[in-house]
Amino acid sequence: MKQLHLFIIKAMKNLVLFAFFLILFSIALTTNIEAKEGIRINADTLLYDDVGSQVEAVGNVQLSWKNVSFATNQLLFRFDTSEAFVPGFIKARFGDYQISAEKMYYNFQTRNGWFESAELVYELNEGGKLFFRGSKIEYQKGKWAGLDLLVTGCPHSPPLYSVRAKEVLIYPQDRILISGLGFYIKENRIIQLPAYSRLLNNHGGNFIPSLGYQRKRGLFVEGNYEYLFSENLLFQANLYYSTRQSSRISGDITLQYSYIEARIFIDLWQNEKSTFGGYAHYQKNGLSLWMLGIENERFNDEIISRLPQFIASYRTESESGFFIEANLSYGKFSQGDINTWRNDIFLSAGLEKKSFGGEIFYQNINLSTLDDAIAWGGKVWAEKEFSSRFSAGIYYEYTQVNGETYFFFDPKDTNIFGLELVYGDLDQTYLRLRGEYDLNIGSVGDIIAGIGLGSKEFSVGMETIYSFPNQSWEERRYYVRKQLEECIDIEASYWESDQTFFVSVNLAGLDQKKHIESLFEKQEEYDLFNLDREN
């Protein structure tokens, strides 16, 4: 009986030992393992240490979790603490940010980590990238931080231009705070600033001021300054000086969270009435709610006040491109001698595809002291690439207004057909033509033509307008574009009719591309259901 008992114990030990080696063998042969919370690791070899509660991955290591991914040759991962150690070179992605480093540590539970000898890359919406390079970059729950970093939009090393910073903080919502900033061309320091902030993918911010001579503005200079008091509180200032138009100093204070933004602002104009106001805006899942007030708002040559105004908008769209949108507005509007409360209902539906689309709309305008109006209509458009060098586009717009309208932004009767042809690359060598036919008057309007010669690094071109009603050439614009080391863009434009000149210098990454007034631009429309301080 005793021998039988010893035999059973021995057999069980052997069975357990066999099972342990079988599990270890199967783990060593497998090419992927999925840890808790969905962390997936793939590698040529995965060795699991049960005692140490860790796995070592060697050879073509790939780790993925939500919007985080790693690619390296060796990785040590602890299951009990969800920590990852990489002793060698690694390429990683955290959402929109890419980072490469010689060594890394990251904790998936606390969402904290560090990267040594690192380069952080952020891809910008308008094209190009912004590079952060330094001996150590830290990550803390969506926020990046580093000391003695080099910041540039130049992919080459050493870069043509760079910002050297004592400290850099990159907050969520694409906001950067740079302390102890020095601006360098090659290795020569040009300017030193104590602190500077930058909003990535923000239309209003530029590091290099605008300087030149432009139509209607004369000789002008315009510069911006942004500073983050905290992660959610931003101060923005803008200085604009012009020899033909009134000069202006602007200030904005913005409090922003994930779905809510509140702002107060003021524009002090020389010899003109000041613009001031504020708003609170909520936006989530297609729903947008505004409560705003603005006095003496300027749009092109028009001035309007809307104080107060309440806006509710909702838009939903399917994966196939079909959308429905509803906008409601109620407020008090003043323009010139007109001062009235107005209620607007705007409904639209349509289809948006990559190469074609269409929309129909209905708008009801109800004024408390003036006649009401109803507008309806739609538009369709289509584009076709016949080859890599040749494309064509057509569009048709129709609007009918019943009743009288009083404000400059109200819809007007429209019935036009347009055609545009492009041969070549608009950034290099190309030929471009656009024309419209007005069906209401039965004649061709203006024909716009453009030609460009050169490459991405250097090109020259001309745009011109021919008026069929006047049977004359009414405008010409000449331009020269130059790109330096893929990170500094320079463009100069000259308008022949009124002998005006404009120059823009853009630092890729730090600057948004400054607006160059092209003859092909369609006139910007005033948005009754929105307030954009960045444009």
In a domain? residue 225? no
In a domain? residue 311? no
Q: Tell me which H or E stretch contains 20.
A: helix 2-29
Pairing of strands 210-214, 188-199: unpaired
Tokens found for residue 141: 């729950």
Beta bridge partners of 41: 33, 63
In a domain? residue 484? yes
| Domain boundary, last residue among 199, 220, 242 | 199
Q: Tell me which H or E stretch contains 9.
A: helix 2-29
In a domain? residue 141? yes
Q: Quickly list DSSP for 117-144.
A: EEEEEEE-TTS-EEEEEEEEEEEETTEE
Helix (H, G, I), strand (E, B) or coil at 327: strand
Q: Which domain holds residue 52?
A: 40-199
| Per-residue pLDDT tens listing for the chain (535 residues) | 444 344 334 444 444 443 443 343 333 333 444 444 578 899 999 898 877 788 999 999 999 998 899 999 999 999 888 899 999 999 999 988 899 999 999 999 899 999 999 999 887 766 678 889 999 999 988 889 998 888 888 888 788 888 888 888 887 767 788 787 788 888 888 887 777 776 665 554 566 666 666 666 667 787 878 888 888 888 888 888 887 777 899 999 999 888 999 999 999 998 889 999 999 999 999 999 999 999 999 998 899 999 999 999 999 999 899 999 999 999 999 999 999 999 999 999 999 998 999 999 999 999 998 889 999 999 999 999 999 899 999 999 999 999 999 999 999 999 999 999 999 998 899 999 999 999 988 888 889 999 999 998 899 999 999 988 888 888 898 999 998 877 888 888 888 877 777 777 777 767 666 556 788 888 888 999 999 887 6
In a domain? residue 372? no
Calculate Rg over the CA atoms of the chain: 30
| Domain boundary, last residue among 159, 178, 199 | 199
CB–CB of 378/395 below 8 Å?
A: no
CB–CB of 203/534 below 8 Å?
A: yes
Q: How far apart are CA 153 and CA 97, in angstroms?
A: 14
| Domain boundary, last residue among 173, 199, 225 | 199
DSSP E strand boundaries for 18-142: 32-34, 40-42, 45-49, 54-65, 68-78, 83-86, 90-94, 97-101, 103-107, 112-123, 129-140
Look up residue 137 and give its amino acid.
I
Taking the whole predicted model, whether its pTM rises above 0.85 is answered as no
CA distances from 92 to 56, 65, 71, 120, 331 (A): 18, 11, 6, 9, 50
Surface-to-core class of residue 17, CB atoms within 10 Å of its CB (0-12 exposed, 13-18 middle, 19+ buried)? exposed
- State the total domains in the chain: 2
In a domain? residue 180? yes
In a domain? residue 439? yes
In a domain? residue 74? yes
